[in-house]
Amino acid sequence: MKLDFFSILGVIIVFIVLVFWLGQSLWIYLDARNKNNRFAILWGILGLFNCPIPLIVYLIVTRGNEKKCPNCKKAVERNMVICPHCGYSLGKACKSCGAFMEEDWEYCPHCSTKYEKGDN
């Protein structure tokens, strides 16, 4: 049996698509696991269903809860009061309910407690 150019090209293209498809699923799983996402295995399985739709969905869903620290520029969760990388103050905790508040907020959006200047 003689292999022609188009047969070899077809095998190479199928191989590249399979590597990308499996690599996408593996990357999604490893990224979710590194972020301590309790659904990491489900994200990885979702990555096997289609290419590249699950990757796009994963990036949109998981990156929406992050912001960058103004000091060290590393990703931190939106509700963190202190950057775990450099210790920079990202906001404050409500004195009444403990919910996250931005530094310039005067009222807690969760319990309506007024925050006075100088309160910590």
Mean pLDDT, consecutive 10-residue stretches, the chain (120 aa), reads: 81 91 90 86 87 81 79 83 87 82 82 72
pLDDT value at residue 30: 93
Angle CA 70–75–81, to nearest 5: 65
Q: Tell whether pTM > 0.85.
A: no
Nearest alpha carbon to residue 32 among 70, 2, 61:
61
Q: How far apart are CA 31 and CA 47, in angstroms?
A: 12
40: Cβ–Cβ under 8 A, 6 or more apart, which residues? 29, 32, 33
